Structure 1
């Protein structure tokens, strides 16, 4: 492992960048140089992000990808890129474009070419997709909506506490883009899954996830069948979409560190 290898953490919709802090601390302890930048125009704190929801309205997938590509370009060494949910999709796009030494996509949002669309996934996205006018808006989740989308595998009290601690308004546009990806020729949710020159990629899935069900991640894994680059899948039984922030986050983080060590990173 390169002692000073940078790591870029990318969060998904409805969580603030600071939700990665336990991971940042752990990876720093293991000799990495981690950062967790927010999405474009994301406020520095959860409180500010809730007060300034309109700042992030209408951000697209490509705008977020370009934002993180610029972060990576400013680093002296190609980083490991670790993303959750839409951050996972962004991780896949960045790696396919040649940014980063390796990628870990945790419960990654649906990319172009993935066909399964389970009912639980549709229900999780309904707060945004249920109103076409949300396309150019920022949308928040209620505690109940968060509990279904993120905390369904947790006690209600823990899910509500996570909502209070980390949940912020997020742009709805990426959800609309992903939902329409298979009907749009040049969709921003498309990933270069055939790239054989990219770094290794680990896909992680929680088998109880409502927002990105396990069948979706398994289908994403199959999209990489034409690439000879290292692509692996790790499933966590009974875990939901909150697996990066709930009481079991360390298990996922330790598995990620072990995999990176196995890749010589």
Structure 2
């Protein structure tokens, strides 16, 4: 008897971290019968330590959201079937943009950066992201997050040694312009249109992308005939992909994918 081919998951990385952050997730979902890809951003297909040595990197500094979305759109378009898209932070925003383009079988936005027009008044959001915007600094140079900034924005609540290990293993320089682009039309979503099933995952202790911001994003989707789901997990910071206990979230996502 002919069996169906396993579905493909494309993991879309967020800003500031190497695409290696998905390695445990890829292993988890491949054990559950999926084929997975975690393509690097342009100019970032190298180990984190190598990318840090290139800082300030003019090529990375020139990355813009519109071209980055087109980069992942082309990867998805080259697959034989529509994949499942799972993105974190900036990758969650790109996931939403590609779902809007009709390129996903299903989409999962983990602690997603907000589309244009969605705001929060949470102080932690502005403190965690202000320096990354790079106002009053040279936009032709990349931004490299310091360890104290990493502790505040990504790994708050984790033991010091785990914070340090994650920093040196995954942190990379970032484009200031791509972060700013989240406020432009490059990040615009038409929330009234039908879309593939879309799941939002949020964390109660995420300072970079507060859960309330994710909830506001989720609530914007207004097409009654489309599936949109929201789930908040207690004690999850912005380093949710590598934070101990990430398997609970992966398991929830796996069950949601199977249901839909």
Give yes or no for TM over 0.5: yes
Contact kept in structure 2, 1:100 and 1:199, CA below 8 Å = yes
Q: Secondary structure of 2:43's partner? A: coil
Shift of 1:44: 2.4
Does the 8 Å CA contact 1:58/1:173 hold for their aligned counterparts? yes
Q: Secondary structure at 1:195's aligned position in 2? A: coil
2:99 aligns to what?
A: 95
Report what 2:119 is aligned to. 115
Secondary structure in 2 matching 1:135: coil
> Is 1:200 the counterpart of 2:202 in the alignment?
no
> CA contact under 8 A between 2:49 and 2:168: conserved in structure 1?
no
Equivalent position to 1:257, from 247, 254, 258: 254
Aligned to 1:52: 54
Per the alignment, in what secondary structure is the counterpart of residue 178 of structure 2?
helix
Count how many residue pairs are aligned between Structure 1 and Structure 2. Answer: 256
2:86 corresponds in structure 1 to: 82
| Cα distance in 2 for residues equivalent to 1:2 and 1:137 | 47
Q: Deviations over 1:57-86 (max 9, x none)?
A: 121111111000011011111100000000
Check conservation: 1:124, 1:149, Cα contact below 8 A: yes
1:134-213 equivalences in 2 (<5 Å) = 134-178=138-182, 181=183, 187-196=185-194, 198-213=195-210
Gaps of 5+ in 2: none
Shift of 1:189: 1.4
8 Å CA contact 2:82–2:104 kept in 1: the answer is yes
**Displacement after TM superposition at 1:134 (Å):** 4.5
Structure 1 residue 220, shift from structure 2 partner:
0.2
Query: Contact 2:92–2:113 at 8 Å: present in 1 too?
Result: yes
CA distance in 2, matches of 1:120, 1:130: 17
Which of 222, 242, 256 is matched with 2:239 structurally?
242
Residue 3 of structure 1: how far off its partner (Å): 4.2
Q: TM-score, normalised by structure 2?
A: 0.93
Structure 1: unaligned runs, 5 residues or longer: none
Tell me, yes or no, if the aligned pair for 2:19 and 2:39 is still in contact at 8 Å: yes
**Shift in alpha-carbon separation, 1:156–1:5, aligned structure 2, 3 A:** same
Aligned partners of 2:259 and 2:138: how far apart in 1?
Answer: 43
Conserved in 1, the CA contact under 8 Å of 2:89 and 2:112?
A: yes
Q: Which residue does the alignment assign to 1:27?
A: 29
Asked whether the 8 Å contact 1:162–1:246 carries over to 2, the reply is no
Q: Is 1:43–1:52's contact at 8 Å kept on the other side of the alignment?
A: no
RMSD: 1.6
Structure 1: distance between partners of 2:224 and 2:52: 41
Aligned partner of 2:42 in structure 1 is 40
Of 49-58 and 142-151, more deviation after overlay is shown by 49-58
Q: CA deviation at 1:194?
A: 2.0
Q: In the alignment, what sits opposite 1:61?
A: 65
Contact 2:49 2:169 in 1 (8 A): no
Is structure 2 residue 8 aligned with structure 1 residue 6? yes
